[in-house]
Amino acid sequence: QVQVVESGGGSVQAGGSLTLSCVVSGSIFSIVAMGWYRQAPGNERELVARINSGGGIEYADDVKGRFTISRENAKNTVYLQMKSLKPEESDVYYCNAYVYTGIGVWDSYWGQGTQVTVSS
């Protein structure tokens, strides 16, 4: 059993900042990659940023230079620092962890999501 729990969402004015946190716990042998995705009602879930175990990072084009993803391996935690937020970035943000649980099993796990609301 693997649990993924996000925190840090909330409301902020346009141009403001928020930091999201995500902790992964449970039957984990290793975490291959962790990432943040967002989804607006009626839309598909889209990648915001992802970081792998080797430190490789990928960002969506529209957040480059404003968002920073980082991970704290010892705590199985990933962070997303968001700056200069825009109203159109008001979404539910989901954390994803791609985990090796051992005995040749890899699987993807999602958190419950945290709401980010940016007012104009």
**Distance (Å, rounded) from C-alpha 2 to C-alpha 109?**
7
pLDDT in tens, 61-97: 999 999 999 999 999 999 999 999 999 999 999 999 9
pLDDT in tens, 45-58: 999 999 999 889 99
- In degrees, rounded to 5, the angle at the alpha carbon of residue 95 between the alpha carbons of residues 92 and 97 is 155
Query: In this structure, what are the phi and psi dihedrals at residue 75, rounded to the nearest 5 degrees?
Result: -110, 5
